[in-house]
């Protein structure tokens, strides 16, 4: 388990969280100043809260337990709370076991899925600013927004296809593959793979070899 330590919780980027899991951490705990008591006008702890919600949705989407990530807010004088929260979290993570164990994934599959998700961090930052930004900075507003089924549907519509393409590109980085091979390795519908490949080809990311009937990454 890792406790992320930075000067301000507002600096806890989505990439930091996913990188910690990619590096093999079984759980990530983030501690921030109390909401609405930030020393900075930006109230960065709300950004940390938003990134935590986003990371939890990403973890759930790739098949990892979102409860492996936790955020709590407290003052600098709340050392007893920090000790209690981290003790509770450490016990919870220990019960879950190593990352991927309770989720039924081996380490290599976990690494692969996290790598695909990390490649989408720039896109998700943009999506957060444009479509997933909570207009009012209050705990109630953030909880209400991110726990809303409409937000889940919006997130899925933004993330699902991008994640599939990211995973496909990672596979093609190793070797050219046919549509059926990609479909089998990623457990995707062949028609969905074809759709992603057509779009990726138009964007100049992949190319199709008619001789081998395989897709490969486009040459630079």
Q: What is the pLDDT along the chain (220 residues), one digit of tens a residue?
A: 555 555 677 788 999 999 999 999 999 999 888 888 877 767 788 999 999 999 999 999 999 999 999 999 988 788 888 899 999 999 999 999 999 999 999 999 999 999 999 999 999 999 988 999 998 999 999 999 999 999 999 999 999 999 999 999 999 999 999 999 999 999 999 999 999 999 999 999 999 999 999 999 997 5
Predicted pLDDT of residue 5:
52
208: CATH: 1.10.10.10
C-alpha distances in Å from residue 41, one per residue of 50, 137, 148, 179: 17, 12, 28, 51
Element (H, E) at 151: helix 149-174
How many angstroms separate the Cα of 64 from the Cα of each of 4, 42, 162, 194? 19, 31, 18, 27
Task: Give the per-residue pLDDT at 78.
Answer: 80
Give the pLDDT score at 3: 52
Looking at the structure, tell me whether residues 87 and 63 fall in a common domain.
Answer: yes
Nearest to 92 by CA among 3, 143, 26, 25: 26
The answer to the question of residue 118 being in a domain is: yes
Tokens of 153: 């549907």
Q: Which helix (H) or strand (E) holds 73?
A: strand 69-73
Q: Residue 83 CB: number of other CB atoms within 10 A?
A: 10
Picking from 170, 161, 149, the residue whose alpha carbon sits closest to that of residue 192 is: 161
| Spatial separation of the C-alpha atoms in residues 53 and 71, rounded to whole Å | 9
Write the Ramachandran bin of 33: left for phi over 0, alpha for psi from -120 to 50, otherwise beta: beta
User: Beta strand pairing status for 206-209 and 214-217?
Assistant: antiparallel
Query: Using an 8 Å Cβ cutoff, are 213 and 178 in contact?
Result: yes
51 and 151 assigned to the same domain: yes
Residues 142 and 198 in one domain: no
**Same domain as 179, residue 154:** no
Q: Are residues 153 and 194 in the same domain?
A: no
Residue that terminates a domain, selected from 159, 191, 212: 159
Q: Which residues partner with 119 through β-bridges?
A: none
Q: Tell me, yes or no, whether 142 lies in a domain.
A: yes
Whole-model pTM? Answer: 0.90
Note whether 21 and 102 are same-domain residues. yes
H or E element at residue 217: strand 214-217
* 26 domain-assigned: yes
Would you say residue 62 lies in a domain?
yes
Q: Which domain holds residue 192?
A: 175-220
């Amino acid at each position: 388990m890792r406790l992320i330590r930075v000067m301000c919780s507002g600096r806890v980027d989505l990439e930091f969280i996913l990188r910690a899991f990619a590096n093999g951490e079984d759980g990530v705990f983030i501690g921030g100043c109390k909401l609405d008591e930030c020393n900075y006008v930006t109230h960065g702890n709300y950004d940390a809260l938003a990134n935590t919600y986003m990371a939890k949705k990403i973890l759930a989407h790739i098949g990892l337990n979102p409860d492996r990530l936790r955020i709590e807010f407290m003052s600098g004088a709340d050392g007893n709370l920090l000790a209690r929260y981290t003790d509770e979290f450490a016990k919870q993570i220990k019960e879950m076991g190593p990352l991927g164990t309770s989720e039924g994934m081996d380490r290599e599959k976990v690494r692969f899925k996290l790598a695909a998700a990390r490649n989408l961090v720039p896109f998700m930052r943009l999506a957060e600013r444009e479509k997933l930004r909570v207009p009012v900075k209050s705990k109630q507003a953030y909880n209400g927004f991110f726990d809303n089924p409409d937000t889940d549907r919006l997130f899925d519509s933004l993330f699902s296809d991008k994640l599939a393409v990211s995973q496909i590109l990672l596979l093609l980085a190793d070797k050219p593959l046919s549509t059926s091979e990609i479909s089998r390795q990623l457990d995707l519908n062949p028609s969905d793979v074809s759709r992603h490949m057509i779009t990726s080809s138009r964007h100049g990311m992949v190319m199709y070899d008619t001789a081998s009937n395989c897709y490969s990454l486009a040459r630079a």
